[in-house]
Chains A and B, each alone.
Chain A
């Protein structure tokens, strides 16, 4: 069992792409932010410089106007008229408690208080503020008792700065997108050999041992492909050698079994003749003859099981499907082997579409094993449950420890090596092969000191066709009665 890690082929590619975008985005953002800040600073400084120049000029002009021999009020009006012709700013004058302004909406009273305080102290000062949503640079100064405030609109300046910001942000976004595209492309290019190697490894795992990577690249991937191919080569060679060895071993087993069959057939015939004359033998020859007969029976079982297992290995197990009633099959099997007194039969018979002969063999092998190793209180139970049809063989003998349980279906495995049973050592292995052949499985439960339970599970239980054949049942009953009678 190989632990399956969920494979997400795009993951590395995505990561590479994101890293690419991140690097491009961050450096682009830093550059954009820096240049924006520098541009903004210089534009704002420019604006202040120009406003101050203009204001100094205005103040000089104002001082000449205000020092003329007119009333202050008139002088202020004259000043406003003169300054209004110069565009770009609004002038507000406060003189002797009176406010004059070149605009209806802006008055000297709207100048920021901090600025007013500075101006009253006689300083030329400036401050930025916002009036009705429009940014202004306000420059204030005092000329002979009059306070003058010049409101320079900076709306256009801030508009331009906003545009610059938008351009930079959009540019940055485009840069990130392009970086993403380029990154994805580069990642795909770079990782293509990885995807190829991954596909190749998968097809190797699926048994296509001839799979190779295109070698010849001069980069790291080329070297990698070369070693991958070396590995595949070695693997293919090893597996070929292994399966050759296995095939040879199986053929040898099969040959041995078949070669043994002829002498064993002669031996079995001779033993069956011998056993008829045991009574008439002299006592000193009789016991050895009995042993010969018994050992030939053992040899015969071994050879037959060996032949059967090599047939199974060769895939020659033909399955003949027919409806089989599990309960009556179990009963007939037990009776045919003469185990009726030692085995309890329980349960109802599900009817399965299966191979009768092989089912009989499975049941016989499981029960035989239980009788040999479990001993007491062997029961065969048939029935259906959620998983399908089952037939289980239970004993209340010594049970097995887990390490025996793992190997119990191995060929010639003996839980207790000192014990030589009458079985061939292949019974459970054959039972399991048969179960697989029939699409089923054998489950084992065992506990030392309590006993064991072997459960043959068959894929489906189908109901016996309840056809319009009332005679059918009679005929079957008749057959059964005859056997019992």
Chain B
């Protein structure tokens, strides 16, 4: 029952207290003090969640994130030192699902962790949707264009599914944050922008001139099946 979490953090105090907090919240925690050790641990056993510090010795958090993404769709939460530099965006672009800014309170981290895991795990099976040339199958978590299979992370998949359920409707960033990330109104709308960019890179025929996932300036995004 206990979900397995890999926590990679170099500071001993932060590592210990975070592990303690996650354990008390019901997670089975494995810790690693640096990036290389983290990757080793990750390859030893399956995890349901990875909590990853950005600034790590030996192999930094971005590198670890990139490596993990090559092998797995496991939800990743980054621990970021700063809230408004490139860190966050870089992390999200490398495939992290969310980030928490240091210093953080443990309940906040636990809530984020639960949210990303719920996203990846609990989608009720639905009928497959056909959007334009895309085929989305919620049951198998698969997206296909013809015979080509498109690999999406859990967050990307949920985002695409949310937009595809109501084609042509415009979704505000806030609404998407709430439905896809399970956040309150005041979440960071950069999450949405970065995820849409990543999604475009994977599902658009020409990602530089997106026709399927359209930006509605000043409002949000919509999916146009004819695109």
**Residues of A that sit less than 8 Å from B by CB:** 258, 261-273, 276, 300, 303-304, 307, 311, 316-318, 320, 322-323, 332-333, 335-336, 351, 356-357, 360, 464-465, 467, 469, 471-472, 475-476, 478-479, 482-483
| Contact (A475, B104) CB under 8 Å given A311-B84, A360-B186, A469-B216 | no
**Least CB separation from A268: chain B residue:** B103
Residue B106 is within 8 A (CB to CB) of chain A in the complex? yes
Q: By the criterion CB–CB under 8 Å, are A316 and B85 in contact?
A: yes
Chain B: number of interface residues, binned into ranges: 35 or more
Majority-rule SS of B interface residues: loop
Q: By the criterion CB–CB under 8 Å, are A475 and B171 in contact?
A: yes
Majority-rule SS of A interface residues: helix
Additional A-B contact list (9), CB under 8 Å, known A258-B81, A475-B220: A272-B21, A273-B106, A311-B82, A333-B186, A469-B170, A471-B169, A472-B220, A476-B174, A479-B178
The distance in angstroms between the C-alpha atoms of A476 and B188, with both chains bound, is: 17
B179 CB to nearest A CB, Å: 9
The distance in angstroms between the C-alpha atoms of A245 and B3, with both chains bound, is: 52
B172 CB to nearest A CB, Å: 5
Residue B118 is within 8 A (CB to CB) of chain A in the complex? no
What is the count of residue pairs linking A and B with beta-carbon distances less than 8 angstroms? 110
Q: Please tell me which stretch of B12-20, B62-70, B149-157 contacts chain A, meaning at least 4 of its Cβ atoms lie within 8 angstroms of it.
A: B12-20
Q: By the criterion CB–CB under 8 Å, are A264 and B103 in contact?
A: yes
Most buried by B among A267, A269, A318: A269
Q: By the criterion CB–CB under 8 Å, are A483 and B218 in contact?
A: no
Q: By the criterion CB–CB under 8 Å, are B174 and A479 in contact?
A: yes
Q: Can you name 6 A-B residue pairings with CB atoms under 8 Å?
A: A263-B13, A268-B103, A271-B105, A316-B85, A475-B175, A479-B185
The distance in angstroms between the C-alpha atoms of A38 and B170, with both chains bound, is: 106
Residue B142 is within 8 A (CB to CB) of chain A in the complex? no
Residue of B84, B105, B218, B220 near A272 (CB, 8 A) is B105
Residue B140 is within 8 A (CB to CB) of chain A in the complex? no
Residue of B24, B85, B188 near A276 (CB, 8 A) is B24
Residue B184 is within 8 A (CB to CB) of chain A in the complex? yes
The distance in angstroms between the C-alpha atoms of A406 and B174, with both chains bound, is: 39
Q: By the criterion CB–CB under 8 Å, are A476 and B17 in contact?
A: no
Encode B166-203 as 1/0 by CB contact (under 8 A) with A.
00111110110010000011101110000000000000
Residue B107 is within 8 A (CB to CB) of chain A in the complex? yes
Residue B219 is within 8 A (CB to CB) of chain A in the complex? yes
**A318 cross-chain contacts in B, Cβ below 8 A:** 84-85
| Contact (A323, B107) CB under 8 Å given A261-B81, A262-B14 | no
Residue B206 is within 8 A (CB to CB) of chain A in the complex? no
Q: By the criterion CB–CB under 8 Å, are A479 and B175 in contact?
A: yes
Closest 7 CB pairs of A and B: A266-B13, A269-B17, A323-B218, A265-B103, A268-B103, A272-B105, A272-B106
Q: By the criterion CB–CB under 8 Å, are A465 and B11 in contact?
A: no
Q: By the criterion CB–CB under 8 Å, are A471 and B170 in contact?
A: yes
